[in-house]
Structure 1
Amino acid sequence: MLRRTPLAHPVGFAVLFFLFILVGVVANHVMSDLAHDVSLRFAAYVLTGIGFYALGTRIRIPPSPRALLALSLILLIIATVREYGPWAFVSATIVAAIYWQWNTLRPRLHLASIAGIVLLAANLFATGSVPLLEPTLRFSSQTIAFVFGYSLLFIGVAFTFPRDRRLAAVLTVCGGSILMLYGFRSYLLVLVLLLGISWWMQGRASARTGIGAVAVACIIIVGIGYVTTLLLPQQWHLLPHELVAYRIGFTTHMLDIACREAGWWGIFHGSLWTHAATSPIVGSVVAGGGNITTTVIGPLILDGGILELSLMSVLGSIMATLYERARSTPMHVPYYA
């Protein structure tokens, strides 16, 4: 059995999410560029969301791979058919084929990362420029090739790391370098978390190594965000570390607006699930347009209010189930990561 560590425990997400919100609230209070107060409804939604998630971590989902596959395929088609048309069914077919041939494909999943890197590079070429240097292209670069590209990259790295760390490192550097050119910090953060959890749970990283790696990753991600901001058609007077606080505060403020607009019962009532990318729709509500992120609970609140927020318990249950399986069986660590 692998070691138990709070750094990878599912409850850690709730703690970090609360700290994120706390930093955002403080930033809104002390930064003149923000200066927004949050509502009581915002506080109620945040605490309720964390509560549902924490409750979910106490529940274990009984294993039923075929039922989970069917549910995943249904959700995949619902979320992508409006934007990608027939490609939604092609995607579902590919996912089903991967499931049925999983035992054959698993030892060769480094090829998935290579395929993902090729797709990301081809999509970047098709975009016609580098979104990092022209941030206005970031939204248009989020094509089906981009989605498949980073998905294959992450899956390949996760399953390659336990058996060949050097190859996983090469794939990470290559894929991460291309993702960096897209200007999206969140995908780089996912890649860092994936490797960090794998390293830590398998006992291959000391606390000092982990902290050092996180520090380097944070510097890189903050740097990318700062460069992207400088290239936007706006004038900023904030320093890189101030921009981080501003970004967290801005996201918190957008979440507060979402809570106010949604009331207690939401606005879209299920239709938000039919979109692969919800941030443009969220942006139209909270900011009159734009690609706006409102954390993991924002879309749930806007869609179904307090009732749909209960789905955070499902997320908590999935995380806890995967965590326990990863601790008992090392080969399951990539699934959790």
Structure 2
Amino acid sequence: MKNKTDFFNPMILVVGMLAFLAMGYIGSFNYRFEDPLKLEVILTIIFACIVFAIGVLLVKYKTNVEGKEITFLSEKLILALTIIALILQALNLVLLGGIPLFNSTLKANATTNIWRIAYPLFLIMLNLLLAKYYNRKYLALIIIGALIFGLNGYRTSVLGILGSSFITLYYLEKISRKFAILFIAAIVIGLMAVGYIASQSIAGQHWTLNPLELIFYRAAFTLEVFEKIIPLAGTTNGHILSMIFSSGSPRTFIGEYVLHYTVCLTSTLFGPVMLDFGYIGLTIQMLFMGMFLELVHKLKKGIGVGIYSIILTHTIIWIETGPTDIMIWFLYLIGLIYILIILYKNQDN
């Protein structure tokens, strides 16, 4: 890269974790709690950051491999699959009978099987298309995708599309300072708009917070959930992990187990594994994520840039939501397959 500083190396996750902690701490004073977050929450998150950084450094300085080009994916095929994904999401909205962003009842049912195919397909193909066959006309697909998937009412879809494509373009050196400012502004405005509009459409709730205040509130609330999880560490004995890879709703289970009423909760990157396996599980998870992200980062070349961008972006999203989506673990599986292919190509040479 010509850029002197690699702003999107895996250590950006540490920045994200500490920033989220700071936002939640501020929010705990202003919008949610009479008392600020407990010291144990702060120290646990700092510990997780340290373990993650150790994982990154182990791979960075102890492995000697390089990325290779993968040539078997054609531009026409990737483009066709990208468009098919957009059509599937449009069909999903038609079958839902409305726009979930403006209707909380529809939003609760918006993550259909069609969406579970359409979103990862679009996300993967878009970034592979940009990484391997960059053309300025493909930038329109970013905006179209963010809009059509944003109608589902979930901020994570908007962030996943805009964030991953931004990182891909960054590594392709297609981003000027002016473009970067505009793109980041679009991400921030898009997230705030989707989150605020969706909150206003929830039946029976009346929010007085503005879009910026809502972000700090959400961070504080999510960290409050994690605060309540810490005394329960290790008590679910792997049940959440088994739900992720089978059936059921891990976030709803966490809501029932921690708060004792039926609600779908985000519990931070650390919450689910802490409930299941305690501090030992947290240590293993953060060490694995640090090593895995750094290995994909180190091997990224060609389509590898797109794969790394997708995985990094959704791991950053997990800082709030928690790693409870099998669909996103599927992206990790793609990353693992990519790693194995590149390692095989390195041995072959």
- Give the alignment's TM-score, normalised by structure 2: 0.77
Closer, same or farther in 2 for the Cα pair 1:331/1:224, shift >3 Å? closer
Give the structure 1 partner of residue 20 of structure 2.
Answer: 20
Query: In the alignment, which of 264, 269, 274 is matched to residue 242 of structure 2?
Result: 274
Q: Secondary structure at the match of 1:138?
A: helix
Cα distance in 1 for residues equivalent to 2:255 and 2:136: 41
Provide the residue aligned with 2:84 in structure 1: 115
Structure 1 gaps, min length 5: 64-100
Report what 2:224 is aligned to: 253
Q: What is the letter of the counterpart of residue 257 of structure 1?
A: K
Cα drift, residue 284 of structure 1: 1.7
Shift of residue 3 of structure 1?
A: 3.8
The Cα shift of 1:105 comes to 5.6
Contact 1:135 1:232 in 2 (8 A): yes
Secondary structure (helix, strand or coil) at the match of 2:262 reads coil
Change (3 A) 1:122 1:34: farther
Instruction: Say which of 220, 224, 234 aligns to 2:190.
Output: 220
Q: Say if 1:104 and 1:202 are closer, same or farther in 2 by CA, change over 3 A.
A: closer
Match of 1:323 in 2: 297
Q: How does 1:305-320 map to 2 (within 5 A)?
A: 305-309=278-282, 310-320=284-294
Deviations along 1:63-87, one digit per CA (max 9) or x if unpaired, are 8xxxxxxxxxxxxxxxxxxxxxxxx
Equivalence for 2:210: 239
Quote the residue 2:40 is aligned against. Answer: 41
Q: Give the letter for the 1:279 counterpart.
A: R
SS in 2 for 1:292: coil
1:13 partner amino acid: L
Separation (CA, whole Å) in 1 of partners of 2:171 and 2:52:
22
* Deviation (angstroms), 1:193: 1.3
Change (3 A) 1:223 1:278: same
- For the 8 Å contact 1:135–1:231, the answer to whether it is kept is yes
Determine helix, strand or coil for the equivalent of 1:142: coil
Quick one: which amino acid aligns to residue 134 of structure 1?
A: N
Q: Which amino acid aligns with 1:280?
A: T
C-alpha distance in structure 2 between counterparts of 1:280 and 1:105, whole Å: 41
Residue 141, structure 1, aligned to residue 110, structure 2: yes
**C-alpha separation in 2, matches of 1:5 and 1:15:** 15
1:334 is aligned to 306
* Corresponding residue of 1:229: 199
Return the offset for 1:129: 2.6
- Mapping for residues 63-212 of structure 1, pairs under 5 Å: 103-104=72-73, 108-162=77-131, 163-212=133-182
Give yes or no for contact 2:158–2:190 (8 Å, CA) kept in 1.
no
Structure 2 match to 1:87: none
Q: Provide Cα deviations, 1:32-87, integer angstroms capped at 9, x if missing partner.
A: x4434323332232122212211111233798xxxxxxxxxxxxxxxxxxxxxxxx
Instruction: Say whether the 8 Å CA contact 1:202–1:330 is kept in structure 2.
Output: no
TM-score if structure 1 supplies the norm length? 0.80
Deviation of residue 176 (structure 1)?
1.6
1:106 to 1:253, Cα distance in 2 relative to 1, 3 A: farther
> How many Å separate the matches in 2 of 1:58 and 1:291?
35
- Asked whether the 8 Å contact 2:163–2:187 carries over to 1, the reply is no
**Offset at residue 333 of structure 1 (A):** 0.9
Gaps of 5+ in 2: 310-349
Q: Give the Å deviation of 1:184.
A: 0.1
Structure 1 stretch 182-191 or stretch 285-294: which is displaced more?
285-294
* Distance (Å, rounded) in 2 between the aligned partners of 1:62 and 1:257: 42
Alpha-carbon contact 1:106-1:159 (below 8 Å) kept: no
SS, match of residue 164 in structure 2: helix
Whole-Å separation in 2 of the counterparts to 1:35 and 1:193? 34
Alignment partner of 1:5 is 2:16: no
SS in 1 for 2:9: coil
1:290 aligns with 263
Q: 1:255 to 1:168 in 2, by over 3 A?
A: farther
Alpha-carbon spacing, 1:315–1:106, altered in 2? closer, same or farther (3 Å): farther
Contact 2:48 2:286 in 1 (8 A): yes
Q: Secondary structure, in 3 states, of the residue corresponding to 1:293?
A: coil
RMSD: 2.3
Question: Hey, what's the Cα distance between the residues in 2 that align with 1:58 and 1:311?
Answer: 15
Aligned partners of 1:112 and 1:155 also within 8 Å: no
Matched position secondary structure for 1:103: coil
1:46 aligned counterpart, secondary structure: helix
For residues 226 and 168 of structure 2, what CA distance do their matches in structure 1 show? 31
Query: Which SS does the other structure have where 1:171 is aligned?
Result: helix
